[in-house]
């Protein structure tokens, strides 16, 4: 009965593809259909396109989005790359950089925006700084922690694969000039594709991310306008046009940056160091320290940490100093409980569904490269997917006049959207584990008959379980605190989950301490779950295997990274 789970996986993965296709078709159709005509006749219109292109508000939003995305991408790239290069030689920088990346990954833009806003409100801003410039600075700051973490992580990982002997050879060959040339001609080509990959993702996400703009009350960028229109119940074709415009801008930037980066030329495994693994290669083969580079790296790390500390200080300032805790107990405790409960339920359902879809996806494609749809979805933040779903459903309802949505309520739809939006994150993690299972195991399993097959499946799950559990923990948190999609679906009940709860509370000055407390809660829970991720993975090993970790580790080390072919 091996084919049963395979069939289920295949059906699930194709259902996801079909639904996504329908949603995208619905979104595009909405931009061309004037659904205000409800007498059964629909007329196609170019009016909204013209409106979109010539509308001064949209033009300003387009320009501002472009400036914002370009600024964030550039800063993240420069700082991330500097830290990545220097962290290779300096243990202290490496440690601090890791801390900064961890912090960046658990700070959503809305939380950073709120913290920065709180802090700016409590300090005196010079009159020479205009409000517009200040809001642009705050918008850039809001997007920096996660984008720095993304670029820094990817670039550092790539740089660590550069063989330290290359610089040494260049030094021997040509002195300082040789080292400079080595950096330009040798290390740069390796880092460039990864840097471009990170930068393109940053550009795309900043273009489509509305929560920071909403918290700052600055809806002059495209994403902010889309969210504001959806919440206010704006014209559906107009929302669709704005969404497509934002998607077009984001994807164009994404494609351009990726094409500049080129493809990886070096697919070799990490460099093998002479003398075997017993030696510490970084220390042993480290070129002499260059004080200027190390100083620059430290400066970048300190700047990075400062960027992260600014909103944290702002959050704590409001949450604690202004009797936020007392207020929480006396006034908001009920609301806070409700938010927590909703977040847990939403996170558990959406996170589990996302992991389930990812597992089905990998199993159905047998770990192969038929992942184009998942990559496509990964390019679409949850908010945009939610907008596409809302717009498509509105259009569908108008066409079918009273279509009951298959009985799905807002909450169920939100869970589905979150699962669709987040499952591509889990796909590479599960796929990597899936592919590492040695195909020879499977051949042995066939020879061993049914019991052999069961054993092999168990072995595969022993390897996959820790990854899946760690992935699940991360996704439960991410879907629980997600703000964009939840905001679009939760317009009726304001404080359902922390993401939209924070944004709504931030809009009312009286609820600022509550919003700050939500922000602190999001960051602390992120840190907690992130630190839980590793033990959860080990728990998965113990629960899933019944034998100790060393045996598994040795069986993994024997397994070549080849495609599992069964």
Partner 1 sequence: MSRLILHKLYRCPGRQPILDLGQVIEISTGELVVLVGQAGAGKTVLARMLCGLEPCDGGQIELGGRSLSKVPPHQRRVGYVMQGDALWPHWSLSQNISFPLRCRGIGRKARNSRLRALLADAALEDLADLKPDQVSLDARGRAILARAVALEPDVLVIDEPFDQAGPLDQIRLVHEREKLTTLILTRNARQALSIADRVGLLSAGRLLQWGAPLEIYLRPESEEVARSFGPINILDGELESVDSRGTAVVRTVLGRLTGRLGTDRAVSAGDPVRLLFRPESLAHGTTGFGTNRFAATIDQRILDGPICHLGLRGPGGWRGAAAVLSVQAAGLKEAQAASFSLPAESVTVLLNRSDPLS
- The residue ranges that bind partner 1 (CB under 8 A) are 163, 165-166, 168-175, 177-178, 181, 185-186, 189-190, 265-266, 268, 272, 274-276, 278, 287
Q: At its nearest, how many Å lie between partner 1 and the CB of residue 168?
A: 6
Closest CA to 92 of 100, 104, 80: 100
Q: At its nearest, how many Å lie between partner 1 and the CB of residue 163?
A: 7
Q: At its nearest, how many Å lie between partner 1 and the CB of residue 291?
A: 16
Closer residue to partner 1, CB minimum distance, 286 or 530: 286
Where helices occur in 35-184 by DSSP H, the ranges are 47-54, 56-87, 91-105, 109-122, 131-159, 164-181
Q: At its nearest, how many Å lie between partner 1 and the CB of residue 557?
A: 20
Neighbours of 210 (CB within 10 A): 30
Closer residue to partner 1, CB minimum distance, 177 or 528: 177
Q: At its nearest, how many Å lie between partner 1 and the CB of residue 187?
A: 10
Closer residue to partner 1, CB minimum distance, 169 or 338: 169
Which H or E run contains 455? helix 449-481
Closer residue to partner 1, CB minimum distance, 10 or 166: 166
Which residue's entry shows tokens 């022993």?
462
Closer residue to partner 1, CB minimum distance, 42 or 166: 166
| C-alpha R_g of the chain | 25
Which of helix, strand or coil describes residue 285?
coil
CA angle 182, 183, 184 (to 5 degrees): 90
Q: At its nearest, how many Å lie between partner 1 and the CB of residue 270?
A: 13
Q: At its nearest, how many Å lie between partner 1 and the CB of residue 275?
A: 6
Structure tokens at 291: 């004080």
From CA 423, how far away is CA 446, in angstroms rounded?
A: 32
From CA 410, how far away is CA 269, in angstroms rounded?
A: 47
Closer residue to partner 1, CB minimum distance, 123 or 278: 278
* CB within 8 Å of 1: residues ≥ 6 apart: none
Structure tokens at 536: 């959860």
From CA 152, how far away is CA 278, in angstroms rounded?
A: 28
Closer residue to partner 1, CB minimum distance, 165 or 335: 165
Which of helix, strand or coil describes residue 139?
helix
**For residue 213, how many C-alpha atoms fall within 13 Å in the half-sphere facing its CB?**
23
Which of helix, strand or coil describes residue 34?
strand
Closer residue to partner 1, CB minimum distance, 21 or 272: 272
From CA 433, how far away is CA 462, in angstroms rounded?
A: 10
Closer residue to partner 1, CB minimum distance, 181 or 370: 181
Closest CA to 474 of 537, 530, 534: 530
Q: At its nearest, how many Å lie between partner 1 and the CB of residue 165?
A: 5
CA angle 118, 120, 126 (to 5 degrees): 160
Closer residue to partner 1, CB minimum distance, 234 or 287: 287
Does residue 317 contact residue 122 with C-beta atoms inside 8 Å?
Answer: yes
Pairing state between β 33-34 and 43-44:
antiparallel
Conformational region of residue 548, where left means phi above 0, alpha means psi within -120 to 50, and beta covers everything else = beta
Closer residue to partner 1, CB minimum distance, 47 or 185: 185
Q: At its nearest, how many Å lie between partner 1 and the CB of residue 78?
A: 23
Q: At its nearest, how many Å lie between partner 1 and the CB of residue 276?
A: 6
Q: At its nearest, how many Å lie between partner 1 and the CB of residue 261?
A: 15
């Amino acid at each position: 009965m091996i084919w049963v789970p395979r069939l289920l996986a295949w059906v699930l993965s194709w259902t996801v593809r079909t639904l996504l296709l329908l949603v995208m078709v619905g979104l595009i159709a909405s931009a061309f259909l004037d659904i205000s005509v409800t007498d059964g006749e629909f007329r196609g219109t170019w009016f909204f396109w013209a409106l979109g292109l010539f509308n001064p508000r949209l033009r300003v939003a387009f320009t501002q989005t472009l400036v914002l995305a370009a600024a964030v991408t550039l800063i993240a790239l420069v700082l991330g790359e500097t830290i990545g290069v220097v962290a290779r030689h300096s243990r202290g920088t490496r440690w601090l950089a890791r801390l900064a990346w961890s912090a960046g990954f658990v700070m959503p833009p809305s939380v950073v925006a709120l913290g920065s806003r709180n802090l700016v409100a409590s300090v005196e801003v010079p009159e020479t700084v205009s409000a517009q410039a200040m809001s642009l600075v705050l918008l850039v700051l809001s997007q920096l922690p996660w984008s720095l973490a993304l670029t820094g992580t990817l670039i550092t990982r790539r740089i660590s694969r550069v063989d330290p002997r290359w610089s040494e050879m260049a030094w021997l060959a040509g002195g300082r000039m040789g080292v400079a040339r080595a950096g330009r001609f040798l290390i740069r080509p390796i880092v460039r594709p990864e840097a471009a990959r990170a930068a393109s993702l940053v550009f795309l996400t900043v273009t489509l991310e509305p929560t920071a703009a909403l918290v700052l009350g600055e809806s002059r960028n495209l994403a902010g306008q889309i969210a504001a229109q959806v919440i206010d119940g704006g014209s559906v074709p107009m929302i669709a046009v704005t969404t497509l415009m934002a998607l077009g801008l984001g994807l164009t930037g994404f494609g351009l940056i990726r094409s500049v980066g080129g493809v990886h030329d070096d697919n070799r495994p990490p460099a093998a160091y002479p003398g075997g693994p017993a030696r510490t290669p970084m220390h042993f083969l480290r070129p002499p320290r260059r004080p200027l580079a190390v100083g620059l790296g430290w400066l970048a790390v300190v700047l990075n940490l400062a960027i992260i500390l600014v909103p944290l200080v702002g959050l704590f300032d409001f949450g604690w100093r202004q009797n936020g805790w007392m207020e929480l107990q006396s006034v908001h405790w009920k609301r806070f409980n409700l938010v927590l409960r909703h977040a847990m339920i939403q996170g558990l359902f959406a996170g589990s569904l996302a992991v389930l879809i990812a597992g089905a996806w990998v199993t159905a494609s047998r770990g192969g490269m038929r992942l184009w749809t998942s990559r496509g979805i990964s390019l679409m933040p949850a908010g945009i997917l939610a907008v596409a779903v809302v717009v498509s459903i509105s259009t569908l309802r108008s066409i079918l006049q009273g279509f009951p949505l298959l009985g799905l309520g807002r909450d169920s739809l939100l869970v589905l959207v979150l699962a669709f939006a987040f499952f591509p994150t889990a796909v590479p993690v599960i796929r990597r584990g899936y592919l590492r299972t040695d195909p020879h195991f499977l051949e042995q399993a066939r020879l061993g008959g049914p019991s052999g097959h069961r054993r092999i499946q168990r072995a595969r799950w022993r390897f996959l379980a820790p990854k899946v559990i760690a992935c699940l923990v991360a996704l439960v948190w991410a879907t629980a605190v997600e703000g964009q999609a939840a905001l679009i679906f939760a317009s009726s009940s304001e404080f359902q989950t922390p993401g939209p709860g924070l944004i709504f509370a931030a809009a009312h000055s009286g609820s600022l301490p509550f919003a700050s407390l939500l922000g602190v809660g999001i960051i602390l829970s992120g840190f907690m779950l992130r630190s839980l991720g590793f033990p959860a993975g080990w728990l998965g090993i113990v629960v899933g295997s019944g034998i100790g970790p060393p045996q598994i580790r040795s069986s993994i080390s024997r397994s070549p990274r080849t495609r599992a072919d069964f």
